[in-house]
Amino acid sequence: MRTWLTARDSLTARLRACCLHFEVRCLSQRLEALGPEEAACLQLRPGRLAWVREVLLLTDGSPAIFAHTVMARQPRHPFDLRFSALGERSLGSLLFSDPGIARGPLEFLRLDRRHPLFQRAQTALAPLPARLWARRSLFGRQAKGVLVTELFLPSILSLDLEHQPPPSDGLSAGIRPSAPP
């Protein structure tokens, strides 16, 4: 799991390299009030409305990643139009194709059934194991921040790692609060 969690390059590209068929299934894209934790990451007030997008990334028909993305509505930015028009396309294809977007440190956490994102993933999928590894990072473009959290589903471990490029920066990612396996 460490190789998957610590890679700073495009997760979409890694998944595509490991399967015959890659698919993005958009579960929802809506305005939602920010909770305290996500608001703090985006340096916004809790309760402020933000765009929330949730997708499943599927490899050969099996869900491999549940992704939760949060982006503030304000300040308005041309990136907003590209984000809102993603549909069934991967956010990674947008983020990693724009040289003006920088990725912040990676954070890792094992989530269990008490965590709201675990509960959202559970709603979208069949029963899940008791815990899932997740990572998040903040992507920034000028004053616009995009917070991406990815929950790694059990089927990810069955993918062929031999076809993945090596992690782009080894294990130097900022690992908090617990280290990946």
Beta strands in 113-169 (DSSP E): 131-141, 144-152
Q: Over 50: is that where the pLDDT of 167 sits?
A: no
Does residue 77 lie within any of the structural domains?
Answer: yes
Domain count, the chain: 1
The residue segments making up the domain with residue 136 are 2-163
The stretch 13-17 carries a mean pLDDT of 91
Digit-coded pLDDT (tens) for 24-57:
999 999 999 999 999 999 988 999 999 999 999 9
Does residue 88 lie within any of the structural domains?
Answer: yes
The stretch 9-25 carries a mean pLDDT of 92
Digit-coded pLDDT (tens) for 87-145:
787 888 777 877 778 889 999 999 999 999 999 999 888 789 999 999 999 998 666 78
State the pLDDT at residue 2: 86
Does residue 91 lie within any of the structural domains?
Answer: yes
Does residue 171 lie within any of the structural domains?
Answer: no
Does residue 174 lie within any of the structural domains?
Answer: no
pLDDT band at 75 (very low <50, low <70, confident <90, very high): low
Does residue 176 lie within any of the structural domains?
Answer: no
Does residue 95 lie within any of the structural domains?
Answer: yes
Does residue 153 lie within any of the structural domains?
Answer: yes
Residue 76's Cβ-count burial label (10 Å; 0-12, 13-18, 19+) is exposed
Q: How far is CA 41 from the centre of its chain?
A: 14
Between residues 142 and 11, the one the model is more confident about: 11
CATH number at residue 45: 3.40.1410.10
